[in-house]
Amino acid sequence: MTKPVNMRLPHELVEAARRVADREGISLTAFAVRAIEADLLRREFAEHARMVTEAEDADRLAGKSRAVRDGLSRWKRDRSSGAA
């Protein structure tokens, strides 16, 4: 399904897009659709990369938390056994 969209764009931008569309052998509408899709895809990839980084950061934080917990447990155990 399509929906009509009316926009006002700078003349130079439209002419540059028209030249590229002509070189590609596609309509200006098809060029605009591709450009919008490409931008949306880049944004989705960027969002995914951000989420992966956050997950990796969370994993690192969880690992550090486990290490501190384990170290504290060993320290308590050693302390109660009189080793320290």
Q: Is the pTM of this model over 0.75?
A: no
Q: Which residues contact 33 (CB under 8 A, 6 or more apart)?
A: none
List the pLDDT tens digit at each of the 84 positions of the chain: 889 989 999 999 999 999 999 999 999 999 999 999 999 999 999 999 889 888 888 888 888 888 988 988 888 888 887 655
Cα 53 to Cα 44: distance, rounded to the nearest angstrom? 14
Provide the residue ranges of all domains of the chain, joining segments of one domain with +.
11-79
Q: Which residues contact 21 (CB under 8 A, 6 or more apart)?
A: 27, 28, 30, 31
The sign of the CA dihedral 80, 82, 83, 84 is: positive
